[in-house]
Amino acid sequence: MGRKYIDCRDYPSEMHCTVALSADTEDELLEAAVQHAVQVHQHQDTPELRSQLKTLFKEGAPPA
């Protein structure tokens, strides 16, 4: 299992958020991404949000 990450810079946002999150498992990354989306981007924690976030996960580490 490789590392996975999600990079907010890839995600269209009016906030121009530059946070990148990474974890060893998709479940861990999803929990971190959901918390970030709810707290920072004021999203609702819904199954739709979770499935949308999963499509944004990438293999490896965030680019520097």
Q: How far is the CB of 5 from Zn ion (least distance, A)?
A: 13
Contact range with Zn ion by CB under 5 A, out of 18-26, 27-35, 47-55, 56-64: 18-26
Q: Tell me whether residue 38 or residue 40 sits nearer to Zn ion (CB atom).
A: 40
What track of x and - describes contact with Zn ion for positions 20 through 59 (by CB under 5 A)? --------------------x-------------------
Tell me the DSSP string of 2-62.
Answer: --EEEEGGGS--TT----EEEESSHHHHHHHHHHHHHHHH-----HHHHHHHHTT-EES--
